[in-house]
Structure formats: C-alpha cells, structure tokens
Amino acid sequence: MPKDAPPNGGAASDEIMHGSDDRSVGAAIEYAVEILNVGTVVVCGHSDCGAMKALVNGGASRGSHLHSWLRNAEPSLIRFHAPTAPGCAELPVADRLAVANVAQQLDNLLGHPSVREAIAAGTLSLKGMYFDILNARVYLVDPDRNGLEPVPAPA
C-alpha cells in the first residue's frame, strides 16, 4: 500500500486534487477488500524517510514531479502540527511527521466505501506500523493520538 495514498473522493475530485487520472490506489484497495477479502490492511512508515525529510526541509522544487507527489502529504502536515503525542516527543521532526503520515493514511483509507463497509461488517481491520530502522524496533501507530506503542519482541 503506498504510504501517501490520496484520500478517496471519486474520479472528479481525484483529478482536481491531484491533477492526474491515476486510479491505481483506489483500484488496489477495492481489489484487496472486495475481491481478495483481505482481513487486515497495514500502513507502514519508517524512520529516516526521505519523503518526510523533503517535506520538513522543503527539498522538492516547485513544479517538480516530487513536489506534486508530496502534495498528497499536506493533510499529514496539518495532522503533524496538532499537539505532539507523548509517545513521539523524543523523535526527530521528520520521524514524528512519518508517524503522523501513517495515522493520516489510515484516515484516508476510511474514505473508501469498500473499506468502511468491510470494517462495519467486521471483516477488515486497519493497522498502522512504524519501523525505527536504527534500533530495529517496530511500533503500532495509535491514529487517535499520533502516538506509538511498542510491539513486544517474540518470546
């Protein structure tokens, strides 16, 4: 699942919001939920993410394809500026943004009718995860507070 999946809003709003007619994200989600009947969709983010660093540092020049693609993360920037969750305060800025981005992508998935219907039916769950590369640790993302909960190491 692309980590910067744009919100669903139908063909017309996709073109207005993103300036393209790429329907691949919506098609992949619908196929996974409606045809493959997946039980869990996991959105993953990671530390030291180049895309998040580009957002924080303004590293994409206006008019570039990268700048255009990073616009999908604007809702994540808004979410990021909400009060910092206790589980993320010690993280570098770009890593905190990566956690907020995972939480935002979970919300974006709820914009797809097939996802909402499957969750309501109890056949689908959404999970957010964050991978701390340097420390080789995996965390669950709590989208309600943009926070992290450690995943216990296997026994």
The model's pLDDT over 46-85, given as tens digits with 9 standing for 90+, comes to 999 999 998 888 877 788 888 888 888 888 888 888 765 5
Query: Is residue 146 helix, strand or coil?
Result: coil
Give the pLDDT score at 5.
53
Query: Is residue 136 helix, strand or coil?
Result: coil
Do the beta carbons of residue 69 and residue 155 sit within 8 Å? no
Do the beta carbons of residue 127 and residue 40 sit within 8 Å? yes
Asked whether residue 36 carries a pLDDT value surpassing 70, the answer given is yes
The whole-angstrom separation of Cα 108 and Cα 41 is 12
Spell out the domain ranges in the chain: 38-150
- Binding-site residue set for Zn(2+): 46, 49
Q: Using the 8-state DSSP alphabet, how is residue 88 labeled?
A: G
The model's pLDDT over 98-130, given as tens digits with 9 standing for 90+, comes to 999 999 999 999 999 999 999 999 999 999 999
pTM above 0.75, yes or no: yes
- Binding-site residue set: 46, 49
Q: 38-150 — its CATH code?
A: 3.40.1050.10
E strands in the chain = 40-46, 125-132, 137-142, 147-150
Maximum Cα–Cα distance for the chain, whole Å?
Answer: 50
